[in-house]
Amino acid sequence: MFRKPTKWSVMKTLILKDIDDLIIGSLGIVAFISFFVGGVVAIQTSLNISNPLIPKYLVGFATRQSIILEFAPTFISIIMAGKVGSFITSSIGTMRVTEQIDALEVMGINAINYLVFPKFIALTLYPFVISISMSLGILGGLAACVYGGYGTFEDYIEGVQNDFIPFHMAYAFIKTMVFAFILATIPSFYGYFMKGGALEVGKASTTSFVWTSVVVILVNYLITSLLLG
């Protein structure tokens, strides 16, 4: 990927375009899902607390832990495997079947560097997406809790602040960076090395989504065992 790198003036444009397509373009769906899933986690937690001895702030605590430890880094990555991963596979795959990659190679351009490296760099901003997901998830929980009548503002905020372990943030962002690498490489691989026509582009996108999700789940298990186990 790093042999014969593309001219910086061209690469800069490609990186900015991929940041727009992969990061900025994903913010809307990530924000929407995070806010409402945060709300649902808060409601579910609240409804399952029947014992009066359990403190009310547990709703905020449980929502924070669920969102920061698993929902934002892992499940948003699976959603991104569908959105961003399919986009990467289908865009590179379409370039393959319409001979655009051959055109790059004939011109002596390192096609992998030209196509994959900007996506790789763009996805180093993926933790920014996950930070937004975490914030909106917790905010969604707060909104559902307060406006749904499941608890008070003060209880929820107390729960969010209670027993906060900074290493959990480090754990979440280490996972996020690894998932960003997976999101850039597996879909690019399936797009770049695909053969056939339009139908195969669709099949490659599906296969890429399945394998990216499987690898994310397995790697999540491994990282969790190593860092928290």
List interacting residues with other proteins (CB under 8 A).
4, 6-7, 9-10, 17, 94-95, 98-100, 102-103, 105-109
Residue among 94 and 152 whose Cβ is closer to other proteins: 94
Residue 63 and residue 146 in contact, taking contact as beta carbons nearer than 8 Å: no
Q: How far is the CB of 5 from other proteins (least distance, A)?
A: 12
Residue 176 and residue 133 in contact, taking contact as beta carbons nearer than 8 Å: no
Residue among 64 and 96 whose Cβ is closer to other proteins: 96
> In whole angstroms, what is the distance from residue 211 CA to residue 206 CA?
9
Q: How far is the CB of 42 from other proteins (least distance, A)?
A: 42
Q: How far is the CB of 99 from other proteins (least distance, A)?
A: 4
> In whole angstroms, what is the distance from residue 168 CA to residue 89 CA?
32
Q: How far is the CB of 105 from other proteins (least distance, A)?
A: 6
Nearest alpha carbon to residue 122 among 225, 21, 192: 21
Residue 183 and residue 84 in contact, taking contact as beta carbons nearer than 8 Å: yes
Residue 182 and residue 215 in contact, taking contact as beta carbons nearer than 8 Å: yes
Residue among 18 and 155 whose Cβ is closer to other proteins: 18
Residue among 91 and 213 whose Cβ is closer to other proteins: 91
